[in-house]
């Protein structure tokens, strides 16, 4: 398979960890940058921090889905973790034919929602640990529904991400821990969001488009339900 036609050095791809379906479904994504592609071997780097590969719990033969976009169409293939090359690079063995697909456009909704998020400079590993701890607290049987400290914010939301205004400076690839109150009688949604793009509004505000890279599958369904319910009421 001529993967080199589709994967070029410095190209940005999206990597999704394929979790065991018997476990609580969750979306785990990572942005990766192509270093090289030879035959069925893809060498990539993580853009998050200098030793991100050391921090992430990669395991032998961990399965991935790799996607990108070319000529307006999605390109998808599968692979497995091969080995760590250094603290910021690793190799993936590609073992599936490329597929072209029409990207599903997630429905989006403009609204006011209660938001809390942390932008403190943290590594990918630290953010994942904080996310896991928050999930344990939020979904503990003894945990009360706590919505203190949420700020009503104008957002554009979908099951895949969120857009909102935040204080500068903002950097592409920056990770934020985001809590969202959907006011549906359930715990706040907790997700790690990655800044994908930003647009400066003025010296006090930046509009940031963020992609959810760690989020429960059930929470993504809740967002879709929230959008469906509120759109039908308009």
Q: 109-232 — its CATH code?
A: 2.40.10.220
Give the CATH H-level superfamily of domain 3-101.
Answer: Electron Transport, Fmn-binding Protein; Chain A (2.30.110.10)
pLDDT at position 20, please?
62
Parts of the chain belonging to CATH 2.40.10.220: 109-232
Parts of the chain belonging to CATH 2.30.110.10: 3-101
pLDDT mean for each 10 residues of the chain (234 residues): 87 88 75 94 91 90 88 82 95 89 80 91 86 90 80 96 93 93 93 94 89 95 94 73
Q: CA–CA separation, 68 vs 57, rounded Å?
A: 23
- For Cα atoms 197, 75, 85, give the angle at the middle one, nearest 5 degrees: 75
pLDDT at position 96, please?
78
* DSSP state letters, 22-70: TSPPEEEEEEEEEEEEETTEEEEE-SS-TTHHHHS---TT-EEEEEEEE
pLDDT at position 22, please?
46
- Strands (E) across the chain are located at 12-17, 26-38, 41-45, 63-70, 73-84, 89-94, 99-101, 109-118, 151-158, 161-166, 175-181, 189-202, 205-216
pLDDT at position 86, please?
95
pLDDT at position 143, please?
73
On whether the CB atoms of residues 62 and 80 are closer than 8 A, the answer is yes
pLDDT at position 233, please?
74
Query: What does the block give as tokens for 1?
Result: 């398979």
DSSP single-letter state for residue 211: E
- For Cα atoms 104, 178, 170, give the angle at the middle one, nearest 5 degrees: 90
Helix (H/G/I), strand (E/B), else coil: 215: strand
């Amino acid at each position: 398979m001529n993967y080199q036609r589709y994967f070029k050095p410095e190209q940005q791809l999206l990597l999704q960890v394929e979790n065991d379906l018997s476990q609580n479904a969750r979306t785990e994504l990572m942005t990766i940058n192509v270093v090289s592609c030879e035959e069925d071997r893809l060498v990539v780097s993580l853009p998050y921090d200098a030793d991100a590969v050391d921090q992430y719990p990669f395991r032998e033969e961990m399965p991935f889905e790799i996607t990108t976009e070319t000529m307006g169409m999605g390109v998808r293939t599968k692979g497995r973790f091969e080995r760590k090359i250094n603290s910021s690079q690793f190799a993936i063995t590609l073992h599936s034919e490329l597929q072209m697909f029409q990207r599903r456009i997630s429905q989006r909704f403009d609204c006011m929602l209660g938001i809390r998020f942390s932008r403190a400079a943290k590594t990918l590993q630290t953010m994942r640990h904080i996310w896991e701890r928050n999930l344990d607290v939020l979904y503990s049987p003894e945990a009360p529904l706590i919505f203190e400290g949420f700020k009503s914010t104008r957002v554009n939301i979908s099951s895949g991400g969120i857009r909102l205004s935040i204080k500068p400076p903002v950097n592409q690839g920056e990770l934020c821990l985001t809590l969202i109150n959907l006011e549906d009688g359930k715990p706040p949604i907790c997700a790690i969001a990655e800044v994908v793009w930003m647009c400066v509004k003025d010296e006090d505000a930046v509009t940031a488009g963020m992609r959810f890279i760690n989020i429960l599958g059930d929470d993504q369904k809740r967002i879709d339900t929230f959008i469906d319910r509120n759109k039908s009421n308009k």
